[in-house]
Structure formats: structure tokens, C-alpha cells
Amino acid sequence: MLISIPPKYAVSDVVGFVKGKSAIAIARNYLGKRNLRGQNFWARGYLVSTVGKAEATIREYIRNQEKEDKRLDQLQMFK
């Protein structure tokens, strides 16, 4: 997801808000659940970049997120 955040807002607050509200909406609308307590919907991290960073790099990071999540899930099987 690529978004532009005005300087008056903290990046971590905006990301937390977007992740939280979208996870709740998706769970309610598509999964029929009212609460996601104890479950993970979004990837743990996020990338923050300034205007100077190439857009192609950001798009590549987003594309690779699913692959990284699958890798981490596989590692969890051996714990």
C-alpha cells in the first residue's frame, strides 16, 4: 500500500490506524468475525520512505511481503 501522510501526523499512528481499522472491517465483512483478538491479519512490519526513495523499490517490497510471510510461517512449524 502506498500512501502519502502529511507531516502533522505521526507515521506510526497512521499505519496503526490503517492496519487496525482495515483488519476489523475485513474480518467483519468477509470472515463473519467480530473480533480478531490473538490473531494476526497484517504483516508485522511496514516500510516508510521519503520522496527521495524510488517508487519501484517500494513496489518491490510490497510484492515480496507475501513471500516473506510464508517463509516466516514455515519457520514457525519447527518451534
Task: Check if 46 is active-site.
Answer: no
What CA–CA distance (Å, rounded) separates 9 from 13? 7
What CA–CA distance (Å, rounded) separates 20 from 30? 15
Other residues' Cβ atoms within 10 Å of the Cβ of residue 49: 12
Of the residues 9, 30, 46, 61, which is catalytic?
61
What CA–CA distance (Å, rounded) separates 73 from 25? 24
Active-site residue list: 61
